[in-house]
Amino acid sequence: MHRTILSIILLISLAGAADAGLHYSAESYAALPSQWRGFLMDHRLLRNIAIKPKTEAEAPPLRMRYREEATKLQAKPKLTPDELADLGALHMRLGEVDRALDLLRKAHEANPNHFAIAANLGTAWHLLGEFRQAEAALEVAVRLAPGKLQLAEEAHLKLVRLRLRGQPGELDDLFGVRYVSDKDGYEPGKIAAIQMKKLPAHAVPLAQQLALWFPADGPLLWQLAELANAHGDVRTAANMMEGCVTQFSMNHATLRKHRQVLRDAIENVPAPKIGEEHIDKFTSTLTFRSRRPLLSKQDALPLPAIDPKGVNAIPWELFGETSMEKPFKVRFPKYLQELEGKQISMTGYMYPLGEDPDLAAFLFIESPVGCWYCEMPETTGILFVEMPRGKTTRYQQGLVRVVGRMALNATDPEDFLYAVRDARVGALD
């Protein structure tokens, strides 16, 4: 059964940082625009940081990492201006905007010409809906911004000014193109030629950057959906509009109308057949510069010595170091090769292969997804987990720990790259 699921997945899935609006020195970005699937995965990861779990043990790994970094900074007797900016950013990511505002206001009074503090202060006011104060802080940030961050800061300031005179839940027309206008009709995969000519080349990377700074902002996601549609990616646009309605509870009439137009369009396209090449009627005209926007710091962290008889805890970032070339030429990192056949331990989320809650096998991923077809991980981010013969485990929605024997696949293109055999599933420690 898992070969069929993998075939479907394969059919579907076949530069510089800009860290300003929410400035945290350990949070850096790849060159934008990123591919939509990777962008939506990291967009969700950042959004989940601010969601307070019932217990800290249930927190996503990224939230735990940010909490640890905030605790370290808070323990210092005195912080530098850069550290004050970082702590303010961490508070905002963790959903503690009031704490961030109090800290950043004092930091700005003491350091009026510090760019990151001013930018983060504007972001804190923005998150609280105080757009007049946000505008004042961002005017300072624009004046202080380094050249490479100038456009991003100006886009943030423009967004705040639009919010000052706009209505809640409206589309942000950041780039001077009337996406919400249906005067000339709304079409899947394009906008009017005269409007397309007005669209700046940097529209998508700037909109992606803003959405990464504000991952819980529904109208920004709608803006990105319209940009995706304008560039021909109708499926992604429809999925993002679906998220605006279902995840962000947006009810704007134009959003719902556009969402329905795009849904109708993709439903009329024949579904891809397994084993056959499928050419999508709707293809993106964008040139992407990275697969995912968030850059990992894992390469800077030392990996522990492998225990041949014990259980080895390993990070998800390790799997991302696997390289693949056509036709199915796989290179696993040396550390991962040395783990084959040994016991490993990982935390992540279960994704069932069917509707039965008692699972003999399941997919295991780093973070939960809303729409599997638009937010699913790449093949290097999916583990196939098998329980011991004759045993099952109950499906769980939250973060779980999986322990089992590591198996790698470098020969069969119809099977998963990684498997965990004879697995045990349990709650976090």
Highest mean pLDDT among 125-134, 159-168, 311-320: 125-134
| Of 52-66, 107-121, 134-148, 272-286, minimum mean pLDDT range | 272-286
Measured distance CA(47)–CA(62) in Å, rounded: 10
pLDDT of 310 reads 93
pLDDT of 372 reads 62
Measured distance CA(62)–CA(94) in Å, rounded: 10
Q: Evaluate if residue 138 carries a pLDDT over 60.
A: yes
What does the block give as tokens for 238?
A: 């429809």
HSE-CB for 240 with a 13 A CA cutoff: 28
Q: For tokens 């510069």, what's the residue?
A: 289
Q: Which residues contact 124 (CB under 8 A, 6 or more apart)?
A: 88, 92, 97, 100, 101, 104
Q: Choose between 156 and 172: higher pLDDT.
A: 156
pLDDT in tens, 409-428: 999 988 899 999 999 998 76
For residue 362, give the nearest of 340, 336, 389, 394 by alpha carbon.
394
Computed over its alpha carbons, how large is the radius of gyration of the chain? 23
HSE-CB for 382 with a 13 A CA cutoff: 23
Task: For the chain, give the mean pLDDT.
Answer: 84
Please give the full DSSP string across 363-376, using - where no structure is assigned: EEESS--S-HHHHP
| Of 161-165, 171-175, 317-321, 374-378, minimum mean pLDDT range | 374-378
Measured distance CA(237)–CA(198) in Å, rounded: 20
Measured distance CA(388)–CA(421) in Å, rounded: 7
pLDDT of 204 reads 94
Highest mean pLDDT among 3-17, 68-82, 143-157, 283-297: 68-82
Cβ atoms < 10 Å from Cβ of 47: 17
**Rounded-to-10 torsion of CA 426, 94, 224, 237:** 20
Single pTM value for the model = 0.71
HSE-CB for 339 with a 13 A CA cutoff: 31
Q: Evaluate if residue 7 carries a pLDDT over 50.
A: no
Q: Evaluate if residue 269 carries a pLDDT over 80.
A: no
- What's the mean pLDDT in 164-174? 80
Domains with residue ranges and CATH for the chain:
18-267 (1.25.40.10), 298-426 (2.40.50.140)
- What's the mean pLDDT in 254-264? 90
Task: Calculate what percentage of the chain has a pLDDT beyond 70.
Answer: 85
pLDDT in tens, 199-215: 888 999 999 999 999 99
Measured distance CA(349)–CA(313) in Å, rounded: 16
| Of 217-226, 294-303, 350-359, minimum mean pLDDT range | 294-303
Alpha helices in 14-114 (DSSP H): 36-49, 61-74, 81-93, 97-110
pLDDT of 389 reads 93
pLDDT of 14 reads 32
Measured distance CA(400)–CA(378) in Å, rounded: 20
53: helix, strand or coil: coil
- What's the mean pLDDT in 351-369? 87
For residue 293, give the nearest of 7, 40, 26 by alpha carbon.
40
| Of 49-63, 92-106, 384-398, minimum mean pLDDT range | 49-63
325 touches 311 (CB < 8 A): no
pLDDT of 279 reads 45
